[in-house]
Structure 1
Amino acid sequence: MSVNLQKGQKISLSKEAGGELSRVTMGLGWDAIKTGGIFGFGARTQSVDLDASCVLFDEKDQPVDVVWFRQLKSRDGSIVHTGDNRTGAGEGDDEQIVVDLARVPANVKSLVFTVNSFTGQNFSQVQNAFCRLVNAANDREVARYDLSVQGAHTAQIMAKLYRHNGEWKMHAIGENGVGRTFDELLPQIAQHL
């Protein structure tokens, strides 16, 4: 059973998954913006390019690597982005970042996941946006965070995976921000490390 995360909530990934997780997928989904039309006739869709990113931080809270649409794999190969979706068309996850937790280098203390509207629409215009954490071994959803706090922001710091006493935990941050790419959020992310 999936946990519907609330802003600021922390969970143990192994407890929620019913055992230790070794590979997780952070999925991001959204729908294109529907405009105009009457009773569904003449309606058009406007593409939305949301981007999922993962920033890797060390013990000193310094970024050591990033996985995003311009670098689809971490330098060590433990984290892989499946590719950039520029429209939001289709069902389910539009973008995914797959993390092999067992292969994440020991010097990496935390992984922070962000969403940015590269095309600049604010989230009040984006429909059905969500992120979720899936146990990649059995494709079971472990946790879901609906990006339901709508407003005139163009980015969100979604969640942080971090090591604590030898196990991975998740903190659902859910903090709104502004920026087309993850690097514009780095000063804000630093407050959560």
Structure 2
Amino acid sequence: MTISLAKNASVSLKKEGGDALTRIILGVGWDVASSGFFGKVLGGGGGGSIDLDASCIVFDADKEVLDNVWFGQLVSLDGSIRHSGDNLTGDGDGDDESIAIDLDKLPLEVESLVLTVNSFRGQTFDKVKNAYGRVLDGRTNRELARFDISDTGPHTGFILASIKRDGGKWTFKALGERAGGRTVRDLAPAAAALV
């Protein structure tokens, strides 16, 4: 059963049997909103596109950035995090971009991961519909939690969620914070303040 998360809600990352997950997938999907003349001009409905980018920022316990995984670097330096590749349009069903994480392979200095979404071309999130972030069991592809991010306003960045080390376990938290910025590097300071 999927848990639908509200802002600041958390869920412990466990398998159905209660064991800790070792692999997860963070998926992000979206469609272009269409609204009359401006929707057509900005890409709604008529084959237009919005280039949202899912990214993962890796932090240590001091909130220093250790690594970024995004369309410009599809694999983390240690190989534990892998990005599916850049979707420039949001076309199609299901996840438009995803990030696979092998939690067991993360170095010990990694304290938290933050999933962000930004609009590379500067289009704002009020031009997006059906947008979501979700976390899946990386072995079974079973959806564990979903967080709706549509209609969040006229901003270009969104700090979606964090995954934080909690003893020997990991916790997924829906953050839902609006931000400004067109790349993952633009969003890193705001993300650090939330972990």
Alpha carbons 1:52, 1:116 under 8 Å: kept: yes
Q: Does 1:10 align with 2:10?
A: yes
**Alignment counterpart, residue 121 of structure 1, candidates 118, 123, 142:** 123
Measured in 1, the distance between the counterparts of 2:18 and 2:126 equals 35
Measured in 2, the distance between the counterparts of 1:45 and 1:9 equals 35
* C-alpha distance after superposition, 1:154-190 (max 9, x if no partner): 1100000010111000111000011101111222112
Q: C-alpha root-mean-square deviation of aligned residues, in Å?
A: 1.6
CA 180–16 in structure 1, closer or farther in 2 if over 3 Å, else same: farther
Q: Does 1:19 align with 2:12?
A: no
Structure 2, unpaired ranges of 5+: 38-44
Q: Does 1:55 align with 2:66?
A: no
Matches within 5 A, 1:1-193: 1-14=1-14, 18-34=18-34, 36=36, 44-193=46-195
Alpha carbons 1:29, 1:131 under 8 Å: kept: yes
Shift of residue 45, structure 1, vs aligned partner: 2.7
Matched letter for residue 10 of structure 1 = S
CA 129–167 in structure 1, closer or farther in 2 if over 3 Å, else same: same
Identify the residue that residue 40 of structure 1 maps to in structure 2: none
Alpha carbons 2:3, 2:144 under 8 Å: kept: yes
Runs of 4+ in structure 1 displaced over 6 angstroms?
A: none
Measured in 1, the distance between the counterparts of 2:34 and 2:172 equals 33
Measured in 2, the distance between the counterparts of 1:115 and 1:74 equals 17
Measured in 2, the distance between the counterparts of 1:144 and 1:20 equals 19
Measured in 2, the distance between the counterparts of 1:149 and 1:35 equals 13
CA 167–30 in structure 1, closer or farther in 2 if over 3 Å, else same: same
Measured in 2, the distance between the counterparts of 1:152 and 1:54 equals 22
Shift of residue 18, structure 1, vs aligned partner: 4.0
Q: Which has the higher strand share?
A: 1
Which of 130-139 and 17-26 deviates more?
A: 17-26
* C-alpha distance after superposition, 1:119-141 (max 9, x if no partner): 21111111111010000111100
TM-score normalized by structure 1? 0.92
Measured in 2, the distance between the counterparts of 1:90 and 1:84 equals 14
Structure 1, unpaired ranges of 5+: 38-42
Identify the residue that residue 40 of structure 2 maps to in structure 1: none
Matched letter for residue 130 of structure 1 = Y
TM-score normalized by structure 2? 0.91
Shift of residue 17, structure 1, vs aligned partner: 7.5
Measured in 1, the distance between the counterparts of 2:137 and 2:162 equals 16
* C-alpha distance after superposition, 1:40-88 (max 9, x if no partner): xxx5131100000001011211001110000000011000001000000
Measured in 2, the distance between the counterparts of 1:17 and 1:177 equals 37
